[in-house]
Amino acid sequence: MLMKDKKGLIVGVANNKSIAYGIAQACAKQGAQLAFTYLNEALEKRVRPIAEEFGSEHVYPLDVNKPEELDALTKTIEKDFGKIDFLVHSVAYAPREALDGKFVDTTKEAFDIAMETSVYSLISLTRACLPVMNDNGSILTLTYLGGAKYLPHYNVMGVAKAALESSVRYLAVDLGERGIRVNAISAGPIKTLAASGIGDFRMILKWNELNSPLAKNVTTEEVGNSAMYLLSDLSSGVSGEIHYVDAGYNIMGLGRITQDDEGKTTLAWDAKE
């Protein structure tokens, strides 16, 4: 198995529909031992059964915006789980009102919250985990196409994802001296708890399905398999990359165009019925 004897920390699982769950599942299938974190008591009730599903008793409280909890986490991990080989950062948040309306109306408070929770948390979590991470390990975070291009209803989160992607590149250089790789997966739209806060999400899903090269939406299992590759030794020569797992949608410059028997062209969206 590709990840036999590997230990990893998964930060950000919300439920069994989460992308982080798909990543954990793929890693566990390849023999990895996993530890998990939860934000609060409500999420603890969801995370513990997931950890048990993967044969793990290692579940820890963590608010990534609280330095004292980061310090406590790594000390506890080293004591009862040992050093880790990989880290998954699946954390992002912006106030819901900051995802509606015009980006120019974003408040400083919403901007600060989005940047601290969605971007700085990768930096602080990485720094906290370095003392308990083995050399030649792997760190992975999750981004979205809205960080590279304008997408409706993404607003401040798009700016946060752009900063996150840049952070991946700078961290990759810092950690390269220890052989630790830092990468991100840019997944296509998936029905998750986080996605529920994005307006017109059902329309976005349908648009991606109709207009991606593979003419479908991706699953958490597909994202998980790609993540497992980036977390395993198979990707030993890959760092600082943004790896798209979106059925190819990111390459498109215009929606699919279909042509009927009479030569009339129509956008796939208009011809969906």
- Helix (H), strand (E) counts: the chain: 8, 9
Q: How far is CA 119 from the centre of its chain?
A: 12
Output the CA torsion sign for 92, 94, 96, 102: negative
- Asked if 154 is an active-site residue, the reply is yes
> Is 60 annotated in the active site?
no
Nearest to 85 by CA among 243, 235, 232: 232
Distance, in Å, from the CA atom of 126 to the CA atom of 113, rounded to the nearest integer, reads 19
CA–CA gap between residue 141 and residue 119 (Å, rounded): 10
Query: E strand or H helix at 108, and its extent?
Result: helix 108-115
Element (H, E) at 28: helix 19-29
Which one, of 195, 173, 61, 187, lies nearest residue 126 by Cα?
A: 173
Catalytic residue of the set 60, 154, 244, 249:
154
- Burial grade of 220 (CB within 10 A; 0-12, 13-18, 19 or more): buried
Q: Which of 93, 144, 229, 249 is catalytic?
A: 144
The C-alpha angle with vertex 11 and arms to 23 and 218, in degrees rounded to 5, equals 30
Query: Active-site residues: which are they?
Result: 144, 154
